[in-house]
Structure 1
Amino acid sequence: MTFPARSVRFPLLALVLVACGADDGGGAGGTTQASTGPTSGASSTTVGTDSVGGSGSTTAPGTGSGTTGDGTTVGGTTDGGTTGGGGGGPTFLCDDPPWKDGDFATVYEVGPGKPLATPSDVPWESLTAGTLVKIFPRPEPYRDKWVIAGTGTEEAPIVVLGVADGGTLPVISGDGATTRPELDYWNEPRSIVKIGGASTPASDDPAHIVVACLEIRDARPGLSFTDDAGSMQTYADNAAAIHVEQGRNVTIAGNELHRAGNGLFAGSGSTNLRIVGNWIHDNGNPGSIYEHNSYTESRGIVFEYNHYGPLCDGCAGNNLKDRSSGTVIRYNWIEDGNRQLDLVETDDADIAADPAYGETFVYGNVLVEGDGEGNSQIVHYGGDGGDTSLYRAGTLYFYFNTVVSTRSGNTTLVRLSTEVERIEANDNIVFVTAGGDRLGITTGTGTAVLTDNWLPQGWVPSHDTLTGSVMDAGNLEGTDPGFVDGAGQDFRLAPDSACRDAAGPLPAATAAYPVTRQYVVHQGGENRPDDGAPDLGAFEAR
């Protein structure tokens, strides 16, 4: 799909010079083209795959954080730790990604005039650390599906990269797709591209894997494919464009994921996922509440710089549904789902036992609730199953977000599932076009503490019976927050906006998650200006 006005930009992960395999005769730092497609070299400059975070002092990804030339924090986390922290990294275009041929021991090129004609010609069953698979655009979609289960390293990841051409990403369609027969993996009806969960390649530790800059689409009931045994199958209701069944330090970046049951699905075998700079839209199934634009459950996950668009027509799922520990949602644009954020409980014991399970950080986002969307709640936090002992039972830190609802009826900012869930809402702009009395803060349960937000005059604690508490700790109120062009979705602040220079201090728990970046329309980010007097909402005026 071509989208020239939608240059795909996402944070550049820290670069580190490392050795990547033995010299095979290609020369130090050089590459040679093999007859079967790979190229090889002796040394590598590679991009780490850990989530941004931590507060260390080294630039090595996965061990802490460092600084780039513009002072932006870049880093990662240890394999078992929580992701997040820091402020995000500098962005880059899919047209000029940081992964270069000479950075890898092995390179496969796929496409017209390349050594390999289709993705099914790639030996997915034997990918090793330090492998780059480059897929070039062609006029017709590729109709291939596969699994990635190799083990990369911080220094030598496994990267599957679409080579963008003037804003056009290579298209991978699941409709009529064929699985390479050398592969052997289960749950084929649930994905086009799968990470982890295979007999061939056999791997108990898929790790340091990147899938970037691909348009992946068409995995819904009624569409068929040929599996690895040569048999025809149809996709399941919950089929995903990308399914991460198992993997640690996995990055999904700069992709367009659409026309699937779930655009992205990640199971509880995942650790440290980074979902960055993707366009995820038009997923779900008509009449169903069970499939979503993304549906994830991981020990550590960061969403940043993504554009979540509406689900498909008649599809009642949520935009971003998550059951993870260590959830960080920052600098995204999320619009027109049943709920924009559905942050509920895990059923995995390891995730539930993670100390990070009880704290969720949502900051610097634009959340847009359109008129006619199925649910009036913008955010849900806690749980949705029968066992409340597994609910998050913690605190949602919600700050520097811009929330806009154009519903003609009531809007509720957050549903807190039980009395023990809590939201600390600071320095946000929450605007409803229908009038202030149409905004309720909660559905009645839990504790909401509102501090230094802009709220419409006439807002109410709840449209339901209030059994919990909604505490007004001092907020601005008015009839217009002063957007540059609210009707045109330009939610930057006009010069006379009361939201300028109006932010107050944040809770101490947010110190590891500072707001140093802001979203760029679309799928991008930039340093947030700092004049010493922060503005409310997702955008700082210049």
Structure 2
Amino acid sequence: MNWQTTTRGVLCIAALSILAACGGGNAGSPQPRKKSTPVAAAPAWSRPSIRTGGGHQKQPVTNFGFVGEDFPNLRESRTAANCDPAHPDNANFAANVIDVGPTQSLTNLTQVAWESLPAHTMVRIHPKATPYNERIFIVTGDIKVCGIRDANGARPKISGLNGRVRNSSALQSLIGTPAQEYSTVNRGIVAIARDSGIRNIAVEGLNLTATMSPPYSGDDHAASYIGMDNQPHLYNNHTGCLYVSRAQDVTIRDNEFSFCPVGVYVISRGLDYGGDHYLTRNFMLEGNFFHDNGLVDDYNVHQAYIQGVNFIVQYNYFGNPIRWDIDNSGTIDTDEASNGNDLKMRTVGELVRYNYFENGAHAIDLIDIEDFRPSVFPWLFDLLADQQPAVATAAARTQMQRDWAKYDAGSYMYGNIFRRDEKVHEQTMGASMVHFGSDNSPIDGRRGTLRFYFNTIVTSLDKHSSSGAATLFSCCLDNADSYVYYDGNLVLDPNQVDFRMVVGGKNYGVVRRRTPNEFWGRYIAVNNAVQVMSATNTLANAQPFHWNTYKGEQIELRRNFVTSNWNQPLWTGYPTPGYGDNEVAIPDFSYPGAHDMHHVTGAANLLVGGLALDVRTTAPLTGSAVCNQAVAWTNDIPSAVRPNYQVRLQDNGAGGWTPGVLVVSARSAHTTLGASQCN
């Protein structure tokens, strides 16, 4: 990122990066259906039932979840790309420095022996007048790849279109061949991958662009690279600008990602794959600029798709996902945009703070884990212990218990800015900005509480009665079926409360309970600022705002600011203005009484008023109603996750804001509602 010092001494981040897509299959979340009249579900199936006993009991201990305590060398302050081998931060990468550039001994990236780089190596990529057109494969540990900016502050650009792969049989043995659809060679301009797992990897200061071609639609975006045989080969359909497969202690910092189906694509495996080293763990995604990623009219790919344990996502700028004039009309219509997410997270232990999110279907999709469930869920670990005792060791059980405690506690999300305007795909206007729950399996969905505080939400949408409201939270996918996902091994007790997993006649205990406090994840929203506007930034004719999507979501509103137009009816006769009225389709996957009414409480605590935020920077206006209104801290938000920094956008002097730039400064007080403190 570019760093600038403003006249008031704050740091200005220019992040030029790409929003990552997820990779197909169940990774996408179809949007919930809106309905005006609740309809009782009439499923055509009969639920499995069995009388069982025993089970996993909740322990009466305080569990605050992940607050960064076991993330190595964690910094809350913003850090820029650093290519100086003499800097203390680069001590692990200083033993061997390789320079690539027009005036260096190596002039292109295929000359780097990626397959045999020794540990503690830094590869420095120097400025170049034209883009590099080669690909990078990091397959050994303790490696840093770092881009050096030119005199104008531009990062070295690497284009994936016809990007060349180094010709090396040793490298091929590690990254596979083009004939293997999901091999590493088919995925990513930069790929961090090796089946045995590698550690201590950093990628900083690069501009990675283009692993897809116009018109960038779901069925028409193919792009090629040049393989070791000197022939063109197609990238994987959902490839990333940057692809990470099973690595630990990874830093992705101060890069730009654009024009890829997925900007950053991170996958994980678990103990059932062979060991904890197959799981991506300790991952820093910091200060990157994502834009123009995803596919037009495709909800299966996203600007960033990440899986694993212990993720810090901070100071990133998620600009608009891809939009394109598919029909060549001269205008980009509202259905000619991506309907994927900005950030999709199948993670355990995460902090999402100090970011900017723009116009994803979900800005943040924080949902059930998928490919490493036995590493985290006690009942699946116990099953693995019966089936593969060699990998379910005592040490692995201890690690599982630590990670389960994080998942079971919930998550913290603070200091972020969310914007939704008329560039969002028309079908996803009503999708929640924050999804905390599940899309594959309600039983596996997010647990505990999402604590959402000191965030700023700005919507600029004209009234569309046929589209969903501008919605903050959602928990679910309305027709997801855990009975199917568990291959018939999930049963509901006759008490209609306890779900158990029973495999081969063995009861592995209660895995989830159908109660208001335990079935779905819950939300606490406090000290946030919400400004609801029309497309011309007025209070009149604005698309209504909803706190929830599904009636059964348990949302506690403490002090928050919201403009006075928030609770207008979505259409004439809409029954619950300000609140969603969706219901899940399969009754078993909600709790009794969930659909009787909405379960949002605390509306009396809201501070309601007129326009309070600058529509360009999202900072408070002079004399704003959000100033000096925040309520005091409570013990459910530990001091380790209370914001010490604040973010806003940069006024571009022409009625808008500067894309890719976050202005960051210290936050010495917590008296203002939202992501930015009043002056």
Aligned partners of 1:2 and 1:366: how far apart in 2?
20
Give the one of 344, 366, 375 matched to 1:343: 366
Cα 1:413–1:109 change in 2 (3 A) is same
Q: Which moved more, 1:188-197 or 1:305-314?
A: 188-197
Q: CA deviation at 1:479?
A: 3.4
CA contact (8 A) 2:68 2:351 kept: no
Q: 1:176 is matched with which residue?
A: 162
Q: 1:278 is matched with which residue?
A: 288
Give the one of 513, 534, 539 matched to 2:641: 513
Q: 1:417 is matched with which residue?
A: 476
Aligned partners of 1:179 and 1:369: how far apart in 2?
39
Cα 1:124–1:395 change in 2 (3 A) is same
Give the one of 108, 112, 119 matched to 2:98: 108
Q: 1:470 is matched with which residue?
A: 600
Q: 1:429 is matched with which residue?
A: 529
Q: Which moved more, 1:241-250 or 1:213-222?
A: 213-222
Cα 1:93–1:524 change in 2 (3 A) is farther
SS of match in other structure, 2:119: coil
Aligned partners of 1:2 and 1:328: how far apart in 2?
23
Q: 1:265 is matched with which residue?
A: 265
* RMSD (Å) for aligned C-alpha atoms: 2.9
Spell out the pairing of 1:84-123 with structure 2 (5 A cutoff).
Answer: 88-92=76-80, 98=87, 104-123=94-113
Cα 1:415–1:55 change in 2 (3 A) is closer
Which letter maps to 2:563?
P
Q: 2:504 is matched with which residue?
A: none
Give the one of 187, 191, 196 matched to 2:193: 196
Q: 2:148 is matched with which residue?
A: 163
Q: 2:627 is matched with which residue?
A: 500
Q: 2:116 is matched with which residue?
A: 126
CA contact (8 A) 1:179 1:227 kept: yes
SS of match in other structure, 1:442: coil
Deviations 1:106-130 (A, max 9, x none): 0000011101111111111122332
Aligned partners of 2:231 and 2:603: how far apart in 1?
62
Q: 2:656 is matched with which residue?
A: none
Q: CA deviation at 1:473?
A: 6.3
Aligned partners of 1:406 and 1:442: how far apart in 2?
19
CA contact (8 A) 2:160 2:189 kept: yes
Aligned partners of 1:54 and 1:361: how far apart in 2?
11
Aligned partners of 1:177 and 1:250: how far apart in 2?
24
SS of match in other structure, 1:252: strand
Aligned partners of 2:261 and 2:232: how far apart in 1?
19
SS of match in other structure, 2:110: helix
Determine which structure has more spread, i.e. the larger CA radius of gyration: 2
Q: 1:402 is matched with which residue?
A: 456
Q: 1:240 is matched with which residue?
A: 240
CA contact (8 A) 2:2 2:14 kept: no
Q: 1:28 is matched with which residue?
A: none
Q: 1:309 is matched with which residue?
A: 319
SS of match in other structure, 2:637: helix
Answering whether residue 368 of structure 2 is matched by residue 332 of structure 1, we say no
Give the one of 658, 662, 666 matched to 1:528: 666
Which letter maps to 1:335?
E
Give the one of 440, 460, 469 matched to 2:546: 440
Give the one of 402, 408, 416 matched to 1:365: 416
Deviations 1:57-116 (A, max 9, x none): xxxx82xxxxxxxxxxxx33xxxxxxxxx7x12444669895679971100000111011
Q: 1:249 is matched with which residue?
A: 249
Which letter maps to 1:295?
Y
Q: CA deviation at 1:217?
A: 0.9
Spell out the pairing of 1:127-146 with structure 2 (5 A cutoff).
Answer: 127-146=117-136
SS of match in other structure, 2:667: coil
Give the one of 423, 438, 442 matched to 1:383: 438
Q: CA deviation at 1:176?
A: 0.7
Cα 1:361–1:473 change in 2 (3 A) is same
CA contact (8 A) 2:93 2:144 kept: no
Answering whether residue 284 of structure 2 is matched by residue 292 of structure 1, we say no
Question: Higher relative contact order at CA 8 Å, sep ≥6: structure 1 or structure 2?
Answer: 2
Aligned partners of 1:407 and 1:236: how far apart in 2?
35
Q: CA deviation at 1:412?
A: 1.1
Q: What TM-score does the superposition give when structure 2 sets the normalisation length?
A: 0.63
Which letter maps to 2:193?
G
Q: CA deviation at 1:509?
A: 3.6
Aligned partners of 1:229 and 1:197: how far apart in 2?
22
Aligned partners of 1:250 and 1:309: how far apart in 2?
23
Aligned partners of 2:235 and 2:68: how far apart in 1?
39
Cα 1:101–1:287 change in 2 (3 A) is same
Cα 1:4–1:472 change in 2 (3 A) is closer
CA contact (8 A) 1:241 1:264 kept: yes
Q: CA deviation at 1:507?
A: 4.6
Which letter maps to 1:144?
E
Cα 1:173–1:455 change in 2 (3 A) is same
Identity within the alignment, %: 26
CA contact (8 A) 2:205 2:253 kept: yes
Deviations 1:443-482 (A, max 9, x none): 1231001111102235345132564510116534333242
Which letter maps to 2:202?
V
Aligned partners of 1:89 and 1:357: how far apart in 2?
25
Q: Which moved more, 1:436-445 or 1:258-267?
A: 436-445
Give the one of 529, 538, 542 matched to 2:675: 538
Aligned partners of 1:178 and 1:315: how far apart in 2?
28
SS of match in other structure, 1:205: strand
Q: 1:227 is matched with which residue?
A: 227
Structure 2: segments with no counterpart, 5+ residues: 6-11, 17-65, 177-182, 213-220, 269-278, 324-336, 378-399, 464-468, 478-518, 568-576, 583-594, 650-659
Give the one of 168, 186, 203 matched to 1:211: 203
Q: Which moved more, 1:253-262 or 1:493-502?
A: 493-502
Q: CA deviation at 1:325?
A: 0.7
Aligned partners of 1:312 and 1:540: how far apart in 2?
32
Q: 1:41 is matched with which residue?
A: none
Aligned partners of 1:7 and 1:442: how far apart in 2?
33
Aligned partners of 2:280 and 2:447: how far apart in 1?
22
Q: What TM-score does the superposition give when structure 1 sets the normalisation length?
A: 0.78
SS of match in other structure, 2:299: coil
Cα 1:523–1:299 change in 2 (3 A) is farther
Q: CA deviation at 1:523?
A: 5.0
Aligned partners of 1:389 and 1:54: how far apart in 2?
26
Aligned partners of 1:464 and 1:327: how far apart in 2?
29
Q: Which moved more, 1:288-297 or 1:141-150?
A: 141-150
CA contact (8 A) 1:145 1:192 kept: yes
Q: Which moved more, 1:494-503 or 1:172-181?
A: 494-503
Cα 1:90–1:145 change in 2 (3 A) is closer
Higher helix share: 2
Aligned partners of 1:102 and 1:246: how far apart in 2?
20
Q: 1:356 is matched with which residue?
A: 406
Answering whether residue 140 of structure 2 is matched by residue 150 of structure 1, we say yes
Cα 1:133–1:396 change in 2 (3 A) is same
Cα 1:407–1:9 change in 2 (3 A) is closer
SS of match in other structure, 2:433: strand
Q: CA deviation at 1:356?
A: 1.4
SS of match in other structure, 1:510: coil
Q: CA deviation at 1:229?
A: 4.9
Aligned partners of 2:674 and 2:228: how far apart in 1?
49
Cα 1:477–1:169 change in 2 (3 A) is same
Cα 1:100–1:446 change in 2 (3 A) is closer
Q: 1:456 is matched with which residue?
A: 563
